[in-house]
Amino acid sequence: MPLADRTRLAGVLSGLFDCAGDRLKVVLAGGLELAEMKYIHSATLSLLIAAVPIPWPELNTGDLMTIAARPPFALTVPAETAAELLAAAGGHPRLVLDGLRLLKDGRPWPACLQDLRLSGQIAAHFSVLGQDPGRAAVLLGLLDQDDLGPYRDWIKDPLLRRLYWTNLLRADGVPARARLVWRCAAVREAGLRALV
């Protein structure tokens, strides 16, 4: 959304907030652009200064079992299997869906988990980011690291920020001391395949 439109939206919400006061609660769901509005453009979008960021909840085993039971999968996935898939996929929704698709296609369970690293969508993120040779070298260095630094609501490094907002990184640990880490080994392996 262009900045002019974002500014207009913020103005409308601010006007509503002025009229309704504490009776109005607004939930804005978004990604990087919404975060930029809060952390970069907050001087001109004052409504967002007081906004409290709440991370989207991670998938849990119950979520995965529900997704598996619905079309197009129509699978009965035991809780233990759901937990294994969540761990192997690092909770990444695309990898979870890839794992369920492989299971639905009749792949043996160990192969389903191992083949998550072959995800074309994850590799595509790295391919786009790695088009610049200098950035590709930096990405390869990052893929070699387990800990990518402290997590903050606004990640200052633009490459780490983009990796986080494309759901390839996650915050690990208690909020005050959370660290940025790769979602899972499958993400790292898909990245290496795309960049090497």
Interval 145-158: pLDDT, tens: 999 999 998 899 99
Show the domain range for 32: 3-48
180 shares its domain with 127: yes
Q: Using CA atoms, how far apart are residues 17 and 6, in angstroms rounded to an integer?
A: 16
SS3 state of residue 182: strand
106 shares its domain with 127: no
Backbone conformation region of residue 24, classed left if phi is above 0, alpha if psi is from -120 to 50, else beta = beta
Query: Exposed (0-12), middle (13-18) or buried (19+): which is 25, by Cβ within 10 Å?
Result: exposed
Q: Using CA atoms, how far apart are residues 14 and 3, in angstroms rounded to an integer?
A: 16
99 shares its domain with 81: yes
131 shares its domain with 187: yes
Banded pLDDT at 31 (limits 50, 70, 90): confident
105 shares its domain with 152: no
Task: Tell me if 56 is assigned to some domain.
Answer: no
Q: Reply yes or no on whether the pLDDT at 72 is more than 60.
A: yes
Task: Tell me if 53 is assigned to some domain.
Answer: no
137 shares its domain with 110: no
Banded pLDDT at 12 (limits 50, 70, 90): confident
Number of domains within the chain? 3
SS3 state of residue 41: coil
111 shares its domain with 147: no
- Could you tell me the pTM of the whole model? 0.82
Q: Chain-wide mean pLDDT for the chain?
A: 89
CA nearest 62: which of 51, 48, 50, 77?
77
